[in-house]
Amino acid sequence: MKTFSLFFLIALISNQAFSQIHPYLGIHDLDSCKLENPCHFLEIDSLNQDVWQIGTPSKPFFGAAYSYSRAVMTDTINAYDTSKHSYFEITFPVNRLSLIVGFKHKFQTDSLLDGCYIEVSYDNGLNWSNIVNQNPVVNPLYITMENMYKKSDTLVNGISCFTGTSNAWVYSRIQWIWGYHLKNYPDSTWLRFYFLSDSIQTNKAGWMIDDIVISYAQLPASILEIEESEHVHVYPNPFSNFTTFEFENRESKNYTLVIYDCQGRMIKTKENIITGKVKIDRDKLPSGLYFYQLYFEGTTSASGKIIIR
């Protein structure tokens, strides 16, 4: 099997992790769930997850489903119930380098008190994490998202989620790009779509989801040259003993700097950078080309290359 550089993946998406999904050489659908017929990759635990229903919406904010007549939603007729923490689950195989899960949805919740979020598991449901609480570069994958909530979009209890009211249908997508050469390649990915409500009834509609589509992006065969960031000044570059990264950080935000080699391996990490300048020593690194990513709150702020003589 061919070696596939993780940095190739990073270079292709050098903007923020919540930017537009990159189409590469085209996006091709693998599977879809229109909810008109049973969906083999979607599961609702009807005994314990009594909020979620599949059917035709019959309440004012929801209106009609996005396509055809049926969708999955927090009750087809009534306002969502109080004190609920309920999910439905989808599972799909990891059989492509660049997988995308997209869905249409709309939501109406009590802002900052009730909300909707997504958790992901790569180990058959043993461990779960909020999709936005992951670093966008996690061996063996790179994650990017479109029209998703961010870490800072939190309820009063601190959970990051969609909350409040969407103006109309929202098209959200999550993309996973996997590196061939890494061994902990999972067999499947599991997603849970959670709805959370507090103890106060506000007679709102909740969350409705339709047209869940699993697709993949066709990747080019060659490694693309990374575009240098204008926001970071690296000097000296090339260097022999050490180099300095300088960038604007007037608000003393907390950044993380990660250095990769040409095989996509993470070789240096500098965390808790709250000034606009950080020094990186060569240590015992061999001469050659390396790449850097500067992160803020898990999203890519800047990226570029460095050379060690």
DSSP 157-178: TS-B-B-SB-SS-EEEEEEEEE
- Residue 140 pLDDT greater than 80, yes or no: no
pLDDT at 7 over 60: no
Burial string for 26-57 (b: 16+ CB within 10 Å, else e) reads ebeeeeebbbeeebebbebeeeebebbbbeeb
Q: Which fold has domain 232-308?
A: Immunoglobulin-like (2.60.40)
| Helical ranges in the chain per DSSP H | 6-12
| DSSP H helices in 96-219 | none
Percent helix, strand, coil in the chain, to 5, is: 5, 45, 50
Q: What is the pTM of this model?
A: 0.68
Task: Report the share of the chain in percent with pLDDT over 70.
Answer: 78
Which SS3 state, helix, strand or coil, does residue 8 take?
Answer: helix
Closest Cα to residue 74, out of 196, 200, 198, 201?
196
Please state the domain extents for the chain.
6-217, 232-308
* Class of 6-217 in CATH: mainly beta
> Does residue 9 surpass a pLDDT of 60?
no
| Beta pairing partners, 194 | 87, 117
Confidence grade of residue 58 (pLDDT, cut at 50, 70, 90): very high
**How far, in Å, CA of 270 to CA of 242, rounded?**
14
Convert the pLDDT of each residue in 236-295 to its tens digit. Answer: 999 999 999 999 888 899 999 988 776 566 789 899 999 999 999 999 898 887 878 888
Going 147 to 118 to 207 to 46, the CA torsion angle's sign is positive
